[in-house]
Amino acid sequence: MARMTLDKLLQSQGFGTRRHCQQLIAGGHVLVAGQAVDDPGMAVDPSGLEFSVFGEPWTYREHVYLALNKPPGYECSRRPSHHPGVLSLLPEPMRWREVQPVGRLDHDTTGLLLLSDDGAFIHAQSSPRRKVPKHYVADTHDPVTPELVSALLAGVQLHDEPAALAASQCEQIGPHRIAISLEQGKYHQVKRMLAAAGNHCEALQRVAIGGLRLQALGLPEGGWCYLGEQELALLNGT
């Protein structure tokens, strides 16, 4: 990777405008490999560069790939209108580098949410052609019955869809709880499918995307982490 000046590197990592980054460096607030640097024009090799800003450690990343355990009451939007946005749960540099959610979860839906600043990744992960299953746990208003599970697996007709939509997997895991997997990713799909099958969704959590499971990430509600190559590979698995 080509060398770049330290101020441009900080700007690329979300620490503000180039002028602001120059001021951070000149003010002695940036350490590179543990050493204080006050020259914004110093050339550095960005590959895996470790640096700190105001004592907080960072590693250079050309793009970031994040997983967030979304709490209820947050909107998956860069410009939320009725509730706080999920980006407010991330450090400020992530917002400066224009990280955005990959797809959406309703404000009251919780669980695994991907975010990135890599447009190609976002497009690929959002494409319905990939048919990567997304796995949910849904709590229902009425008791779960074998007929409900059978209907969801066979397919239910939603009023604005040309064909019935079916779950790729569905099983009862409690008196009022099902585990359900979908490949289509339609708007409010789990909730609408449950309603079409004669029940009502009381709570919904996304627990996995492909083979990437929220539980394995160990994130508390509202917590986030970087995804490495191993975790990214799991997104394509089951």
pTM of the model: 0.91
> Could you give the residue numbers annotated as active site?
106
Q: Both tokens of residue 98?
A: 């224009």
Residues 6+ apart with CB under 8 A from 69: 110, 111, 112, 113, 214, 217, 219, 220, 221, 222, 223, 224
Domains and CATH numbers, the chain: 4-59 (3.10.290.10), 65-128+212-234 (3.30.70.580), 133-209 (3.30.70.1560)
Residues 6+ apart with CB under 8 A from 50: 32, 33, 57, 58, 59, 60
The pLDDT value given to residue 238: 52
In this structure, of 60-69, 134-143, 181-190, the range with the lowest mean pLDDT score is 181-190
User: What is the full DSSP assignment across 210-232?
Assistant: TTEEHHHHTPPTT-EEE--HHHH
The pLDDT value given to residue 237: 64
Q: Both tokens of residue 156?
A: 């239910």
The DSSP bridge partners found for residue 213 are 208
pLDDT digits over 13-40, tens only?
A: 999 999 999 999 999 999 998 899 999 9
**Residues 75 and 103: beta-carbon distance below 8 Å:** no
Indicate the pLDDT class of residue 126, thresholds 50, 70 and 90: confident
- Tell me which residue of 169, 139, 137 sits closest to 153, measured CA to CA: 169
CA–CA distance, 4 with 179 (Å, rounded to integer): 49
